[in-house]
Chain A
Amino acid sequence: MSEHPKFHLPVMLPVRPVATSTACLVATLSSRWGLLAILSGLALCLGLEQAWAQQDMAAFSIWEAIVKWTPLIFWGTGQGLGGFVLNIWVSVLAMTIGTCLGLMLGIGQVSPHRVLRWPSWAVTQLFRNSPWLVLLFYFMMLLPYEIRILGFSVPFSGWFKATVALSLPVMANISEIVRGAILSIPTGQWESAESLALTRRQTMWRIILPQCVKRMIPPWMNWYCILVMSTPLISILGVQDAMTLTQDALAAEGRMELLIPFYLWLMLWFFAYTYPIARWTRRLESRFAVKL
């Protein structure tokens, strides 16, 4: 049996166990999320890539390289935040800043006062229609390296500037979501609150906005997913995020055959983080759609 020429191809020997173990892992993941097709496709790509290496033990060493670099790409160098964790932290922070500012802008957009309404509208339109990458570069140049407050110097690290830059397009889009939600509330709600002598601010915060939350959550989560997937952009500014560290790892290894497996691996992380949120959003959307 071992005389058969097929079994003399060296590449076949290490591939089989690796491919199956990957497939096993993938199958467990996918049975939980119902992603069998997509993830086993990815696993197949990894396997093919390994087979394609055409060298003795090469495929096994690809898997070894992934295992070796994964902690760095996930956690960073250990000096401050870095890696995939930094991507998530940047996304959470940018979303928080963007949501707070976007809420203010959105309320400003429906203000009866022109001095509030017009600037809110202008800022919203400006940042909604700017390329994210251009914004990133712009804020990298615009913000100082540190600011001095009462004699103390507060450093502005690269990742923080990048976070501020990313929060702006989020802010603008949240602003539009808020404006749309407020306008979707029937005018009767405003009238009855007014006739009960509530002030405009009381009406907004106690009557209108609480009713908006339900309608805003699905698009808000949608924008969070988009933001998470945009965080690798900050690697262009030299921030030690997962993308930068993947590139560093690849440079250190200096092996062409690692490129595709490494980027696929990174993609998988983002997918694993974002896809459940997207699914949850869809569920909420259909739930709220029935009630409206």
Chain B
Amino acid sequence: MKTWTPSEPIISISNVHKAYGSFQVLKGVSLDVKKGEVVCIIGPSGSGKSTLIRCINGLNDIQSGSIRVEGMEVNDPKLDKLALRKNVGIVFQQFNLFPHKTVLENVMMAPVIVLKQARTEVEQRARALIAKVRLEGKENAYPGELSGGQQQRVAIARCLAMAPDIMLFDEVTSALDPETVNEVLSTIKDLAQEGMTCILVTHEMGFAREVADHIYFTDKGVIVEHGPPDVFFANPKDPRTREFLGKVL
């Protein structure tokens, strides 16, 4: 394995194909993400954006092409999955918190049992992270007792507890009540401003425009158009992009 240096793209996806049975979800997708960059992937439902983001940390496998994360080839059967997932966190649309564990236990679990870090040290960090996502006082609550927005912020804290280099957000506000969307978005914005490399699949165009360094528009398994947000939103070139933006903006 060739070693990765921070000057190279932290994520390098090239010509990725992926099919569920005979249905082609990704038909040759390529994109690079630099360290500290915030990338938003937008596009109509079923265009393959969620599939793409899940391929990055190996939750979905691919048929052909290559995905490299910090120099690690994600689809190499010899890949150390622990090393990959330690560095790549993902937050899901449905939160997927562990309902039988408290907020604090949810956040502490992976560092303690996967990274074998000392409980006391992890607990200190976990409490700080819970405070960071503005949930002080909820440490001993169970996920079922929290609102959707609060649960999603716990999910973000749980990911951060592994101290990843990259965070993936898979439509994290789509299952939320409108009034709690902003509290989650502002947490993500904090992360982005601190220099975390983020890839977001989102339907929040205003947020994408505000926070992203680069926007990718996917449709039917290919990247149709991409560019910095001001150029992309002000002056879309492809008719499919124009049609989509006309519908959502």
Contacts and interface: CB of A to CB of B under 8 A. Distances in A.
Contacts of A210: 100
B141 interface: no
A207 interface: yes
Contact of A195 (B59, B98, B99): B59
Nearest to B158: A196
A42 B100 CA distance: 46
Interface residues of B, number: 24
Contacts of B109: 196, 198, 206
Interface string A183-204: 0001011011111111000100
Contact of B113 (A186, A192, A202): A202
A188 B89 contact: no
B81 interface: yes
Nearest to B113: A202
B114 interface: yes
B193 interface: no
Given A189-B98, A207-B98, A211-B100, A196 B114 contact: yes
Interface string B48-73: 00000000010100000000000000
Contacts of A191: 59, 92, 96
B81 to A, nearest CB: 7
A186 B95 CA distance: 12
B226 interface: no
Contacts of A188: 92, 94, 96
A123 B110 CA distance: 35
B162 A211 contact: no
A194 B89 CA distance: 11
A181 to B, nearest CB: 13
A197 B98 contact: no
Interface residues of A, number: 16
B199 to A, nearest CB: 14
Interface secondary structure of B, over-half rule: mixed
Contacts of A211: 98-100
A22 B57 CA distance: 72
Contacts of A195: 57, 59, 85, 88-90
Contact of A196 (B85, B94, B99, B100): B85
Contacts of B88: 195
B17 interface: no
Nearest to B93: A188
Contacts of A193: 98
Given A191-B92, A192-B96, A207-B98, A197 B158 contact: no
Contact of B59 (A189, A194, A202): A194
A186 B96 CA distance: 9
A196 B162 contact: yes
Nearest to B162: A196
A198 B110 contact: yes
B59, B94, B98, B155, most chain A CB atoms within 10 A: B98
A198 B115 CA distance: 10
Contacts of A202: 113-114
A261 to B, nearest CB: 51
Given A191-B59, A202-B113, A206-B113, A197 B100 contact: no
Nearest to A206: B113
A198 B82 CA distance: 8
Interface in B160-214: 162
B153 interface: no
A197 B96 contact: no
A193 B82 CA distance: 12
Given A188-B94, A189-B96, A196 B110 contact: yes
Contacts of B18: none
B127 interface: no
A266 B248 CA distance: 74
Given A198-B110, A210-B100, A192 B92 contact: yes
Nearest to B94: A188
A207 B90 CA distance: 18
11 contacts: A186-B96, A188-B92, A189-B98, A191-B59, A191-B96, A192-B97, A195-B85, A195-B90, A197-B162, A202-B114, A206-B113
Given A195-B85, A211-B99, 6 more contacts: A186-B94, A191-B92, A194-B59, A195-B57, A195-B59, A206-B109
Interface of B: 57, 59, 81-82, 85-86, 88-90, 92, 94, 96-100, 109-110, 113-114, 155, 158-159, 162
